[in-house]
């Protein structure tokens, strides 16, 4: 159930391959809009164009390893409230053009009063933002659902020990080692007993 008492809708978002950093995309990355800062599989950034409006009608971009394309399915769960604040990485890593592609996901048709939650296959993580409300624990057939909160640096939330390398990689490549990223908590729906074991401060001390 979503926060307004309705059953969330689950639908596959169609994707089409875009040119690597094609000219129409450059303003999105160059102007530093607030966006969805993510690392897929621990290394691939994900970003959504965001100009202070809900994500409805925007276009979402992800650079995905070609080897993952056939085994990766993007699923959308319509839920929650309008997005008001999202985190955007300062820069993107440069990947070989022959190995990575960009996928564009048309978000047209998503109501303005709903937030978009992205879910990938079990081998890939997506760091998605949610502002308020509760993420529905509706299963996606054949997929594992991950909830990732983007929290302010120093939040009291905890992070699982097995996710430390992902956070360290994010910090190294996107903040030049200056600050721990606001990626703090990961919830695995299929393994709710897998409790977080390390606090943000513990990770900060370890990385420092």
The stretch 106-125 carries a mean pLDDT of 32
Q: What Cα–Cα distance (Å) separates residue 54 from each residue in 39, 76, 85, 102, 138? A: 22, 15, 9, 22, 22
Q: Average the pLDDT over 190-207 and give the result.
A: 38
User: Across all residues in the chain, what is the average pLDDT?
Assistant: 32
Residues 130-166: tens digit of each pLDDT: 222 233 344 333 322 333 333 333 333 344 444 444 4
Half-sphere exposure of 64 (CA within 13 A, CB side): 26
Average pLDDT over residues 18-43: 27
Query: What tens digit of pLDDT does each residue of 83-98 get?
Result: 222 222 322 233 333 3
pLDDT tens sequence across 171-196: 444 444 443 333 323 333 333 343 43
pLDDT digits (tens, 9 = 90+) for 53-70: 333 333 333 333 344 333
Q: Are 81 and 133 in contact (CB under 8 A)?
A: yes
DSSP letters spanning 85-132: -----S------TTTEEEEEEE-TT--TT-EEEEE--TT--------S
pLDDT at 169: 47
User: What does the pLDDT read at residue 45?
Assistant: 30
């Amino acid at each position: 159930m979503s926060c307004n008492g309705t059953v969330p809708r689950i639908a596959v978002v169609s994707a089409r391959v875009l040119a690597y950093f094609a000219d129409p995309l450059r303003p999105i990355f160059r102007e530093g809009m607030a966006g969805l800062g993510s690392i897929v599989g621990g290394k691939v950034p994900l970003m959504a164009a965001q100009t202070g409006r809900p994500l409805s009608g925007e276009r979402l971009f992800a650079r995905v390893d070609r080897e993952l394309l056939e085994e990766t399915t993007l699923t959308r769960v319509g839920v929650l409230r309008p997005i008001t604040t999202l985190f955007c990485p300062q820069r993107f890593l440069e990947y070989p053009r022959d190995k990575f592609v960009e996928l564009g996901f048309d978000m047209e048709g998503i109501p303005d009063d709903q937030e978009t939650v992205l879910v990938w296959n079990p081998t890939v993580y997506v760091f998605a933002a949610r502002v308020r409300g509760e993420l529905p624990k509706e299963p996606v057939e054949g997929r594992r659902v991950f909830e990732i909160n983007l929290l302010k640096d120093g939040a009291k939330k905890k992070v699982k020990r097995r996710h430390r390398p992902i956070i360290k990689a994010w910090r190294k490549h996107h903040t030049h080692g200056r600050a721990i990223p606001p990626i703090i908590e990961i919830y695995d729906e299929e393994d709710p007993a897998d409790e977080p074991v390390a606090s943000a401060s513990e990770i900060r001390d370890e990385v420092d």
